[in-house]
């Protein structure tokens, strides 16, 4: 049959699914409203604007500006985490009055800010060793191009001349390093923090 069929409703027998056979096209040239769930198992091409007032789920990702992996956004997440002061890789002997952080993850990039404030330091219980900030929400990539530096503010910590805070690859930690005016560098250790040290930081780093 060729021509135009006009109807207010299309429904399969006894409420079953209406199927368009392979090799054929169902073309809608005006507006279409779907009151239930629209399932598409093949490709769908939109030539105009798609307006959606509900949730769109794309489990395989969304390709933007191309179809390759470099153009595919495959993850987005927002959340909170708890940054803490550590020595020797743990928080033994260290108490906190504040341990707050928020993050946004877009693809393999994590943007986060945190605030860790100590309220006690028990020297006898400390593991000892390098001072780090632990508890990042995702592991830093294990690659030389995954090093990132933080913007930060510290209080009640000692150091020589200049101090920096940056990622430690393949961990969920940031490490403090002091740099002297002569150019030598070393990690801060448990002797550089007090019972009321704190840090506020903001950093973007690569994961995955």
Residue 22 binned pLDDT confidence (cut-offs 50, 70, 90):
confident
Instruction: Specify the pLDDT at position 180.
Output: 93
How confident is the model at residue 50, as a pLDDT?
73
Q: Residue 70 has what pLDDT?
A: 77
Q: Is 60 exposed, middle or buried (0-12, 13-18, 19+ CB in 10 A)?
A: exposed
User: 5 pLDDT band (50/70/90 cuts)?
Assistant: low
DSSP secondary structure letter of residue 68: S
Under DSSP, is residue 51 helix (H, G, I), strand (E, B) or coil? coil
Three-state secondary structure call for residue 82 = coil
Domain extent listing, the chain: 77-206
Question: How much is the pLDDT for 67?
Answer: 77
What pLDDT, on a 0 to 100 scale, did the predictor assign at position 171?
97
Low-confidence winner among 61-75, 105-119, 124-138 (lowest mean pLDDT): 61-75
61-96 confidence digits (pLDDT tens): 788 778 777 777 778 999 999 999 999 999 999 999
Distances (CA, A) of 82 to 18, 100, 151: 52, 5, 18
The residue ranking higher by pLDDT, 2 or 91, is 91
Does pTM top 0.95 for this prediction? Answer: no
Q: What is the pLDDT of residue 10?
A: 65
pLDDT value at residue 47: 73
In 30-150, the DSSP E strands lie at: 62-63, 72-73, 76-81, 84-87, 94-106, 109-121, 131-134
Percent of the chain with pLDDT over 70: 85
The pLDDT mean for the chain works out to 87
For 140-194, the pLDDT digits (tens) are 999 999 999 999 999 999 999 999 999 999 999 999 999 999 999 999 999 999 9
**Main-chain dihedrals φ then ψ at residue 144, nearest 5 degrees:** -65, -25
Rounded to an integer, what distance in angstroms lies between the CA atom of residue 55 and that of residue 196?
45
């Amino acid at each position: 049959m060729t021509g135009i069929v006009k109807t207010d409703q299309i429904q399969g027998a006894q409420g079953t699914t209406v199927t368009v056979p392979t090799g054929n096209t169902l073309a809608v040239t005006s507006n279409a409203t779907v009151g239930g769930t629209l399932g598409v198992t093949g490709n769908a091409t939109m030539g105009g604007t798609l307006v959606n007032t509900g949730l769109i789920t794309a489990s395989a990702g969304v390709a933007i500006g191309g179809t390759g992996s470099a153009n595919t956004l495959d993850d987005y997440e927002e959340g909170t985490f708890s940054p803490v002061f550590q020595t020797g890789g743990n928080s033994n002997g260290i108490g906190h009055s504040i341990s707050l952080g928020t993050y946004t993850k877009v693809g393999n990039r994590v943007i986060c800010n945190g605030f860790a404030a100590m309220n006690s330091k028990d020297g006898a219980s400390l593991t000892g060793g390098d001072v780090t900030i632990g508890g990042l929400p995702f592991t830093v990539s294990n690659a030389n191009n995954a090093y990132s530096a933080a913007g930060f503010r510290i209080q009640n910590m000692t150091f020589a001349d200049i101090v920096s805070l940056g990622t430690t690859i393949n961990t969920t930690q940031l490490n403090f390093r002091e740099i002297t005016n002569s150019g030598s560098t070393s990690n801060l250790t448990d002797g550089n923090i007090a019972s009321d040290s704190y840090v506020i930081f903001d950093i973007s780093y690569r994961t995955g």
